[in-house]
Amino acid sequence: MRRNLQDGADPGWNRRAFLKVSAAATGGLLVSLYLDRLALAQEAASAAAPKVYPPDAFVHIRPDGTTVIQVNRLEFGQGIHTALPMILADEMDADWSHVVAELAPADAVYADPVFGIQMVGQSSSITDSFTQYRELGARTRAMLVAAAAARWKIPEGDCRTESGVVHGPNGRSATYAELAEAAALIPVPEKIRLKSPSAFRLVGTKTRRLDSRPKCDGSLKFGLDLDVPGMKIAVVAHPPVFGARVKGFDAAAARAIEAVRDVFEIPLARGTGVAVVADRFWPAKQGRDRLRIEWDLAGTERPDSGRLFAAYRDLARTTGNIAVARGEANAMHAIPESRRIVAEYEFPFLAHTPMEPLNTTIRLDGDRAEVWAGSQFQTSDQLAIAEVLGLKPAQVAFHTEMAGGGFGRRAVPDSHIQREAAAIAKRLRGVPVKLIWTREDDVQGGYYRPMHVHRVEVGVGSDGLPTAWRHVIVGQSLVAGTPFAPMLIKNGVDSTAVEGAADTHYAIPNFHLSAHHPASSVPVLWFRSVGHTHNTFVMETLVDELAMRAAIDPIAYRLKLLKPDAKRVRSTLTLLQEKAGWRRSVPREHAVGIACVQCFGTAVACAAEVSVEEKRPRIHRVTVALNCGLAVNPLTIESQFQGGVGFGVTQLMSKGAITLKDGRVEQRNFDGYCPPYMKDAPAAVDVHIVPSDDKPTGCGEPPVPVIAPAVVNALFRLTGKRYRTLPLAAL
């Protein structure tokens, strides 16, 4: 994937462009820690050799001592804008109270070290950039120490650093700001020593977010809040059926609105649409409402949820492409009918609906363009805009804007939002334009978590443990037709559709899993925790059912069934058992359900205390134990887990589904598609972290999958019913 996506991108990072962008973003003159020679050094390094990241692309020390650290990926709630600077500042021995974080613009130097493109996904930010940011901090520190040693004409070994100051013998000291200019002339050291974890001062401590205050006083500018001089607003009338095209339109009523400046047809990733450009959002939207468009539906599929589910159910009775074939294929035959369970599950389309509606601002000026966007995929979004505008990526300055949530919705392989905005900017040439998707565009616009049907047959041994497991998963592939396909589709199986089941941490000797990926015109996309959203639900409700049949405690049963090497999951179940507060004083009309998962490396075990109120589950208290290796910022981790389990309630909501009828999406806004509000989410979430010095793994997605199965496992104890169709109907 690395090569695929980088081909055609600007191979080197453009230092001048970077400095221009940084200066524009901060409004001040930057004292660069390192000068241009570094770019040459980087060019000289072969592509295959391990990269020495240039510190000056990541760290700037201003004369007043402020240390500005570039964050190489999007901040959209997950806290990376605080965690990566913590890691760098710790190794650098910077003064945390003077650290400022900035979101880096699109540039090759800010690519994820593992994926090779600039991105947020798979909860990999900390996993992939932990060592990178430590090394950057250590290199920066080494250069500052070398500058101090040269100034004082003493060995570097006689210097120590603390909180933004280099100390030498005889009480000599110099601040990093005083040394920055001289340090910039020191060659970047290749070999550096990293701290031992016991020497960390920031990493591992509960550290408050750097972005709270401006998010609490209204001053933080999200992408939607930006105001570029002379900017116009665009909204687009999208086809009512995916892939439909404009046959003709009457814009007279729209053009009659004084502030409407232009109305024109544009190509879309699927079909075509009509853009309305106005001075302000409201007239643009009014203009769109007044358009009379005749749509050409010829050749469109007109998908229908009911018909799709029926087709999926039929497919689920046949073997798909083989994902796992372990043990005997006919082991089920040896198990008597009385010890078999057949379970069918149905999951609907889900919309991400981040709170900040999707938007992008573009200014095309001659052969240069400037973009402001909250993007999880800067590299490919920049490339897409360049392609539409007929420019090279290096001619497109791409500013990463803080985003109001995303959950996968801003990681779009076809860059459809950017392409749409670029098509409009191309026509407006010279006039900056902000494309805004209204909430209706968002809810009806596709890019959903795909709907799925699972059919599982389990044969239980005389000891109550499963000996045979036959599992068929039916659902659209997330990556078919994208640059990710060669990497993620093997033997016709999309690994993102089977993760959490194919790689189950349970030891099931005869395990057969296959998948069908029927094609559909409904655009689909990864949704926070991806395949785990449905696979964990299936695995954890079935295992719970098996535990009940065997009359074994659900935690004890899981511990018994775990593979010997499932150490992380084991550690979380064990910790959950120790933190037994959730077992005590559970009222008679409440019940506790259990679930666990390992998702993108991080293991989670969860106990949810639930009752039934007004025919809905009421989640009183959730206890979570997790193992993410070294916990970089335990405060953010606690927050992510509290919020992540709340987010996971989405699929239990009575209106937690996107449905299609004869090609049209039936929901329009938060009245029809209804994510959890305060009373729907857990009232309390206690988070316990397994102490560990292992390589850290992510915490954005792992909290999400456990809550839905834990809640329905609790509901079974209250109602005696198993819940295998989501969203959850009235209890």
Partner 1 sequence: METYKLVVNGHPMEVATDPGTPLLWVLREELKMTGTKYGCGIAACGACTVHLAGVPTRSCVVPISLVGRRPVVTIEAMTGDPVGRVVQDAWVSHDVVQCGYCQSGQIMSAVALLKAIPKPTDADIEQSMGGNLCRCATYVRIREAIQIASGQLK
Q: Give the residues lining the site for partner 1 (CB under 8 A).
A: 76-79, 208-209, 211-213, 215-222, 224-225, 227, 258, 280-283, 286, 353-357, 402-407, 438-439, 635-636, 639-640, 642-647, 649, 669-671, 675-679, 681-685
CA distance 537 to 510: 21
Strand bridging mode 466-475 / 510-516: parallel
CB of 296 to partner 1, least distance (A): 29
CB of 706 to partner 1, least distance (A): 14
CB of 520 to partner 1, least distance (A): 26
When the beta carbons of 93 and 442 are compared against partner 1, the nearer one is 442
DSSP string, 586-648: --TT-EEEEEEEEETTEEEEEEEEEEEETTEEEEEEEEEEEE-SS-S-HHHHHHHHHHHHHHH
When the beta carbons of 341 and 635 are compared against partner 1, the nearer one is 635
CB of 241 to partner 1, least distance (A): 23
When the beta carbons of 219 and 491 are compared against partner 1, the nearer one is 219
When the beta carbons of 509 and 643 are compared against partner 1, the nearer one is 643
When the beta carbons of 74 and 142 are compared against partner 1, the nearer one is 74
CB of 528 to partner 1, least distance (A): 10
When the beta carbons of 5 and 278 are compared against partner 1, the nearer one is 278
Q: Which helix (H) or strand (E) holds 294?
A: strand 292-296
Strand bridging mode 260-267 / 272-278: antiparallel
CB of 697 to partner 1, least distance (A): 19
CB of 213 to partner 1, least distance (A): 6
Report which residue type is found at 596: C
Q: Which residues sit opposite 474 in a β-bridge?
A: 453, 516
In 327-439, the DSSP E strands lie at 340-347, 359-365, 368-373, 396-400, 433-436
CB of 665 to partner 1, least distance (A): 16
CA distance 232 to 226: 11
CB 134 within 8 A of CB 87: yes
When the beta carbons of 280 and 317 are compared against partner 1, the nearer one is 280
Instruction: Tell me the Ramachandran region of residue 302: left when phi exceeds 0, alpha when psi lies from -120 to 50, beta otherwise.
Output: left
When the beta carbons of 375 and 482 are compared against partner 1, the nearer one is 375
What is residue 277's DSSP assignment? E
CA distance 306 to 349: 12
In 129-215, the DSSP E strands lie at 160-162, 165-167, 173-175
In 10 A of CB 18, how many CB atoms? 22
When the beta carbons of 148 and 599 are compared against partner 1, the nearer one is 599
When the beta carbons of 32 and 353 are compared against partner 1, the nearer one is 353
Rg, the chain, Cα only: 27
When the beta carbons of 32 and 438 are compared against partner 1, the nearer one is 438
CB of 281 to partner 1, least distance (A): 6
When the beta carbons of 397 and 653 are compared against partner 1, the nearer one is 653
CB of 527 to partner 1, least distance (A): 12
3-state DSSP helix/strand/coil % of the chain, to nearest 5 = 35, 25, 40
CB of 210 to partner 1, least distance (A): 11
The CA distances from residue 627 to 333, 568, 643, in Å, are 39, 6, 17
CB of 619 to partner 1, least distance (A): 11
DSSP string, 87-118: HHHHHHT--GGGEEEEEPPS-GGGS-TTTSSS
CB 101 within 8 A of CB 81: yes
- Look up tokens 């009235």; give the residue: 730
CA distance 471 to 537: 14
The CA distances from residue 188 to 44, 48, 176, 370, 379, in Å, are 14, 19, 16, 32, 26
Burial (0-12, 13-18, 19+ Cβ within 10 Å), 551 = exposed
When the beta carbons of 466 and 698 are compared against partner 1, the nearer one is 698
When the beta carbons of 303 and 405 are compared against partner 1, the nearer one is 405
- Look up tokens 């082991």; give the residue: 331
Evaluated on CA atoms 264, 268, 273, 279, the torsion sign reads negative
What strands, in cross-sheet order, belong to the sheet with 67-71?
59-61, 67-71, 99-103
CB of 123 to partner 1, least distance (A): 14
CA distance 509 to 328: 8
CB of 182 to partner 1, least distance (A): 37
When the beta carbons of 67 and 353 are compared against partner 1, the nearer one is 353
